[in-house]
Amino acid sequence: MKKICIIFFFFLINFKAISTEIIFDYYGFYSWDKIIDINKERRFVVFNTKGIGTSNAGVQTTGGCDGFLEYVKGIIDKSYYICKLEEGNGDATFFEMKTETGEVDAGITPFKIIEGTGRWKELVGINCLGAFSMIKDFDENMKNASILFKAKCEIPDTTLERLKNYKKEN
């Protein structure tokens, strides 16, 4: 029994050695659809993004996010949004995001993959970490700011290989 516990413990410690990351890069346009100024220090914003993305699995996507942000003194206090990225063959993945810390122009965003079709089905339930940064600020109507979003999710090497080699059945 002691040997089994030691082997199990060794496996847990070395798990990172057999894992890798899937990395997503997303470039998009960010617009505020509705702004509600609650008072001088508090603002509620409904927003959307639309853009294109790539991954180290060799997959390109289009899509975006819809959700809300609540700012207190210019800092994100609460947020929630859903993102859908779709590849050319119609397979898609959905993320659920809640910004942990950030301002209007940059932030850190943990997220969870909540649904997927095709190759993305295998990633459902995985927690990931992302960061966003503005490239170009909003226009006068609070529309069309350009953003960069970078994310990574830790997955086993074998999963990344399956994602790269996935062939959709007809």
Rounded Cα distance, 59 and 164, in Å: 8
Region of poorest pLDDT, from 3-17, 20-34, 41-55, 127-141? 3-17
The helix/strand/coil state of 38 is: coil
pLDDT at 150: 94
Global confidence as pTM? 0.81
In the chain, the DSSP E strands lie at 19-37, 42-55, 60-72, 75-87, 92-97, 101-102, 106-116, 127-136, 145-156
117-163 pLDDT, tens per residue? 999 999 999 999 999 898 999 888 889 899 999 999 999 989 999 99
Bigger pLDDT: 35 vs 15? 35
Q: What class does CATH assign to 20-165?
A: mainly beta
pLDDT at 19: 63
38-79 pLDDT, tens per residue? 999 999 999 999 999 999 999 999 999 999 989 888 888 888
Taking the domains of the chain in order of start, what are their residue ranges? 20-165
Query: Mean pLDDT, to the nearest integer, of 21-25?
Result: 94
71: exposed, middle or buried (C-beta count within 10 Å: 0-12, 13-18, 19+)? buried
Rounded Cα distance, 96 and 115, in Å: 9
The helix/strand/coil state of 17 is: helix
* Amino acid (1-letter code) at residue 170: N
- pLDDT at 15 > cutoff 50: no
The helix/strand/coil state of 143 is: coil
Cβ atoms 165, 159 nearer than 8 A:
no
pLDDT at 78: 87
Rounded Cα distance, 159 and 94, in Å: 18
pLDDT at 77: 84
- pLDDT at 37 > cutoff 60: yes
The model's confidence at residue 26, banded by pLDDT at 50, 70 and 90, is very high
Rounded Cα distance, 108 and 66, in Å: 17
77-124 pLDDT, tens per residue? 888 999 999 999 999 999 999 876 667 677 888 999 999 999 999 999
Tokens 């960069």 correspond to 148
Closest CA to 126 of 6, 5, 24: 24
The model's confidence at residue 32, banded by pLDDT at 50, 70 and 90, is very high
Cβ atoms 66, 47 nearer than 8 A:
yes
Bigger pLDDT: 12 vs 30? 30
Cβ atoms 112, 125 nearer than 8 A:
yes
